[in-house]
Amino acid sequence: MTSRTATEALLDDLRERAWRGDAEAQRQFVNIGAKAAQTVQATSQEIDKMITAKVWRPS
C-alpha cells in the first residue's frame, strides 16, 4: 500500500463515519481532506452535502 492509497482509504473511512454524524470524523475529514489529493473545493462540497443532509455537527 502506498501512502496515497493509505490516505485515500483513511479519507474513505472518515467520509463514511462523517456521513453517520461522527463529529470527530468530520473534523478529521476536513483537516486531512484539505491536505490530501482532494481539493479544498471538493472537501467543501462534501461538507455542504453533509450539512444539507443534516448529519454535520459543527464544532
In a domain, residue 18? The reply is yes
Residue 30: domain span:
3-52
Distance CA 15, CA 32 (A): 11
| DSSP category for residue 21 | T
In a domain, residue 57? The reply is no
pLDDT at position 2 is 58
Domain total for the chain? 1
Displacement of CA 10 from its chain's centroid (Å): 9
pLDDT at position 3 is 56
pLDDT at position 7 is 72
Distance CA 6, CA 51 (A): 27
pLDDT at position 24 is 95
- Tens digit of pLDDT for each residue in 1-53? 555 677 778 889 999 999 999 999 999 988 887 776 556 677 778 888 988 99
pLDDT at position 18 is 94
